[in-house]
Structure 1
Amino acid sequence: MAEHVIKMPDVGEGVAEAELVEWHVKPGDPVREDMVLAAVMTDKATVEIPSPVEGTVSWLGAEIGETVAVGSPIVKIDIAGDAPAPMDDGEGEAPVAEGLAPQGETVPPPPAAAGEKKPDKESETPKANKPKVAAKSAPPISKAGAPRAEGERPLASPAVRLRAKDAGIDLRQVPGSGPAGRITHDDLDQFIARGSQPVATGLRRDTSVDEVKVVGLRRRIAEKMALAKSRIPHITYVEEVNVSALEDLRARLNAEKRPDRPKLTILPFLMRAMVKAIADQPQLNALYDDDAGVIHRHGGVHVGIAAQTPSGLVVPVVRHAEARDLWDCATEAARLAEAARAGTATREELTGSTITITSLGAMGGVATTPVINYPEVAIIGVNKIMVRPLWDGTQFVPAKMMNLSSSFDHRVIDGWDAAVFVQRIKTLLETPAMIFVD
């Protein structure tokens, strides 16, 4: 039987390692050619590793969450037949897991600890004339606080049950000292005397703890958020915007749109307003290389749109928003959002933004403190639209109001410049006809 070693492939130009996020096989599983063995992730792009041969998995070289270098062995497959084994760079057999003996062998008992007395034969075998004495003790209490197993009905007389019901005590929590664990009046008295809190009948404590390993996209998000908050001194500026006129315009455009055009949301209007505001303040459309001490101001406005997916938060990028009209921005944003949700967005579509929009839609809240998408210097947060009273100079009138919660890198953007930028966007959104005027 030959052994085939599969190594971590080159998953992208300039990529030296990848994180193992999923195994599709385990040792002993039969595999066929082109069957997917594992999935690895790099730069938010997931790559599947297929099997080039047919055989049986004999060894896995990494655990989920581990980072594996390109070229490192990750799977060994036994191939039936007498064909010579492929080159495996000197890799030997997979190590046997500690504590497990090969099949057919017996695991010897562990040696006695130092100072521990071995039981003699006389103590191992009870004497015939020595009577057995059963110690009377209450049933052990489980870690969850209940002395009996899930679904086990406590034994008690009707009088004891009535007392427990009147006191609001769940008898499943009371240890019983009677025959077969029966609960007596004395047991109930002792339970109350210990200061045990009454438990509502039908409710049980849940002390379970699930351990969820942070891997894959969730791990990348955690690392990037920690990097952004540790290196960027954030300043957050919140301003309310009257979007009544914008919402009226959006409703009319959607009612009269052509079949080949997508439904307009508020995002394409905001993207076009940001393009106009950036033309006056190009320092907002920049990436800050704080290691080199260099700010890269970009002429092209590449708008990242934070999108929630089943796997976590990703940021697809609408490139060159300055060269797109309202409908083109809407079309591209919708396409990228769908690709992100389906998991088909490419690496190029998920990288390269110069400024980001984040929105929680109808759940956007009154105000937020968005985290900047490092190494950008600004992020614009959209909160939900709510009808609120607005003073028009003579009276209060109902208006559709929305807050913009925006964060800026205070090393690069002064508070005054941040306010000017947001006020410019506010003016354009409150007077949407200005968005279309060059």
Structure 2
Amino acid sequence: MAELSYSVLVVCMLGLVQIIASTDQETCDKELPESCCAGKEVPTASPPEWPSSQSPAGGSEANINATLCVLYRQVNCLVCNHPYQPKASKCCITATDETNDTMIGGPLPFNEYLIGKYRALDRGTNGFYLYPKHEEQSSYYDDRTPTANGRSGLALQAGKRLDGCEAASFNDDKDCWTQTVNVIALGHVLYEKHPYAGFLYVVGHKFPADLLGKHLILHRSLRQDGNPGQCDAATVSSTEYDVRGNPDLVKMVPGPDVADHACAVYAGAGSYLDLGDFNNTCISDPGLCKSMTWSVWLKIDTSSGFTGERYYISSGGQSWSRGVALLYINDLSLFYFVVGTVSSRSFNTYHKTQIPLNSWFHLALTIEMNQGVVNMLKLYVDGEFKEEAKTSKFSDGNVDGCTRLYLGMANVCSKVYLSDTYGGSAAYSNLMVFDRLLNQEEIKNLKN
């Protein structure tokens, strides 16, 4: 690993042409916290959030001479590394006053970016243009074309102080900008016959280093970038799921405010999302994992499809098959969290007053196993543990016949049930499944 050169930038180390980290007169003399990059690792490969397999340019795996930079947006820490540079750079940057990353002046949106070569920028300074990965993951935007959320002209440069402040000066060993330039300038990526310096990855999680890399077994963002006020005009199109039932009942809606997804997918009763076949995996057979944690943002719509028996998550757990299910039974006013394995079936019930309705909330479901038998189930709402109304356990054999994962419908194997009778109306965002039991602090980090 490269020797770390750590420094803290006084105000304005970095900016974007759409002013990502500039400051006004009021903050000119403020210093940044020394702890912002504490514990942040030097990148040696593409992060799990933006794997090389989903990079149009091949990411770090296909570009061994690329400089890799990671911007930890929650703590405003930028780390850059090149395999042949003895010192990596680790710098704190200033936060933006605008928190919405779809707005000019807002933070740099979560994404993968190609970093251009060092050059003169349009604003009369030198720096690196940034080229965002397209939402379809097949190419990159140029520096002039707005992304789906309206951002363009993004660049990495020395920040400028506004409203009469002098430009930030950089000298001696603590010069973060010079260090960052030196590291990035060493990089080389050839993409579609054009040279670039490397990759910048914007991430926002605070998890243990191994959590996303080793224990995340399923991730579906279920989102689209864009203006939250125009989600209803967005076309539903995704490689993450297939729409079943009536496609006219599936649409994009504004996502949760604290998530990095402007628009999330909504499936009304009579339609549902098919996320694929998970045969011989923990998704359809939880007993294959020692423990599991399911995490998703959910907005249950009670204006339609909230009578009878309604399903929101199902990989077969409710059908005397192995799997997981979350459903609501209106006659009992209870939500059920059900898990079936090869030799056991367990479920917890929760009164509907314990689950938010008609508003976004973060749901986490944990499954503790003991040699393939469910030992304990827990449910968390917005990071807070919810005491179950009832727990039931049965010892029985279950086949793994329902191996597909549905959102908004019961997975009943080969049987045919009407989705407008059993489907639950809801919006979904950022589904993540881990093959590890997450503790409450880690679940709160998922929520944040």
Judging by fraction of residues, say which structure has more helix.
Answer: 1
Q: TM-score range by the shorter chain?
A: under 0.3
User: Greater relative contact order (Cα 8 A, min sep 6): structure 1 or 2?
Assistant: 2
* Structure with more strand by fraction: 2
- Rg (Cα) greater in structure: 1
